[in-house]
């Protein structure tokens, strides 16, 4: 088995970026979900309810993130790596409420116009510690603005198995993994406990429960019942549809496309 793809999603729920090399940090890959859009009350925004977010793509530039409309790249905005405001806001992501830092008034105005709703872009400063639930942590780990875990892995064979059951195949971007590996059978990742990718070890914490976001076409923002409808017929556990495995990093370093994947005795 080897690492086939690496993805980060710098702004939660916007388009992902494929990398060839990535830096492994405690709370997730470098830049992964360190920014998040929130409404005026501080509640996080996602494609689950605002499908148009799928049409916003992110790229990494020298001095920040470039966000642009997929259908018209002339509609774009630069998000500086360092927030320009010393303004902090309590923000809520699922059951957690943590402190985010507002990036800039100009960035907020751009997103509010593009999404046609008042919103703010917040950054997760280093001082903000969103801790994992104790039953999943090893060293009191923290996590970014991701739904719950720092890392997610899916085998290409697992997607191939799903697509063989669908009338219209779906791409991997419906599932927003950090790592995609080749080799191994369908759902081989379900059996993993501790895995080594290159020089970095990861502990598998729990399966990833999937939601309606998997039904949003990332190219058009249109929705349908698939692939969730078909997945539910054979991947349901305790009323949750499972696809992919969540992980935490046991040491830091870099991972590279092409890295070998080894299973470690837990």
266 has a pLDDT exceeding 60: no
115 has a pLDDT exceeding 80: yes
Domain residue ranges in the chain: 2-28+132-264, 33-123
Give the end-to-end CA distance of the chain in Å, rounded to a whole number. 18
Average pLDDT of the residues in 186-201: 97
Query: pLDDT tens digits for 63-79?
Result: 999 999 999 999 999 99
Query: pLDDT tens digits for 11-44?
Result: 999 999 999 999 999 999 999 999 999 999 999 9
Averaged pLDDT of the chain:
97
| Widest CA span in the chain | 51
Burial 1-36 (b: 16+ CB within 10 A, else e): bebbbbbbbbbbbbbbbebeebebbbbbbebbbbbb
Distinct helix (H) and strand (E) counts, the chain: 3, 19
pTM of the model: 0.96
Q: In what order do the strands lie in the sheet with 28-29?
A: 28-29, 21-25, 253-256
Tokens of residue 45, six digits: 């925004």
Average pLDDT of the residues in 87-97: 97
List alpha helices for 20-81, DSSP H: none
pLDDT at residue 118 in the model = 98
How is domain 2-28+132-264 classified at the architecture level of CATH?
Beta Barrel (2.40)
Tokens of residue 34, six digits: 């360190």
Element (H, E) at 67: strand 64-69
Would you tell me how many other CB atoms lie within 10 Å of the CB of residue 163?
A: 16
Would you tell me how many other CB atoms lie within 10 Å of the CB of residue 167?
A: 7
The alpha carbon of residue 90 and the mean position of all alpha carbons in its chain are separated, in whole angstroms, by 21
Whole-number Å distance between alpha carbons of 35 and 146: 10
* Per-residue pLDDT band at 265 (split at 50, 70, 90): confident
Query: pLDDT tens digits for 160-181?
Result: 999 999 999 999 999 999 999 9
């Amino acid at each position: 088995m080897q690492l086939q793809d690496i993805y980060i999603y710098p702004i939660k729920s916007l388009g992902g970026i494929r990398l060839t090399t990535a830096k492994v940090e405690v709370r997730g890959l470098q830049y992964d979900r360190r920014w998040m859009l929130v409404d005026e009350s501080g509640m996080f925004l996602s494609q689950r309810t605002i499908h148009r977010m799928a049409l916003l793509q992110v790229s990494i530039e020298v001095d920040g993130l470039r966000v642009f409309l997929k259908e018209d790249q002339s509609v774009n905005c630069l998000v500086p790596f360092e927030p320009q405001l010393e303004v902090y806001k309590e923000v809520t992501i699922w059951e957690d409420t943590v402190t985010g830092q507002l990036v800039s008034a100009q960035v907020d105005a751009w997103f509010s116009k593009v999404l046609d709703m008042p919103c703010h872009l917040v950054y997760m400063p280093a001082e903000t510690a969103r801790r994992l639930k104790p039953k999943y942590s090893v060293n009191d780990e923290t996590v970014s603005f991701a739904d719950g875990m720092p890392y997610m892995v899916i085998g290409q064979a697992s997607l191939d198995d799903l697509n063989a059951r669908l009338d219209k195949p779906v791409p991997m971007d419906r599932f927003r993994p950090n790592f995609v590996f080749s080799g191994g059978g369908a759902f081989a990742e379900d059996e993993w406990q501790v895995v080594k990718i290159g020089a970095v070890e990861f502990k598998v914490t729990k399966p990833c429960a999937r939601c309606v976001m998997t039904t949003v076409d990332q190219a058009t923002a249109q929705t349908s019942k698939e692939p969730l409808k078909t997945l539910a017929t054979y991947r349901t556990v305790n009323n949750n549809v499972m696809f992919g495995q969540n992980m935490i990093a046991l040491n830091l370093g870099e991972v590279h496309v092409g890295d070998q994947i080894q299973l470690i005795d837990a």
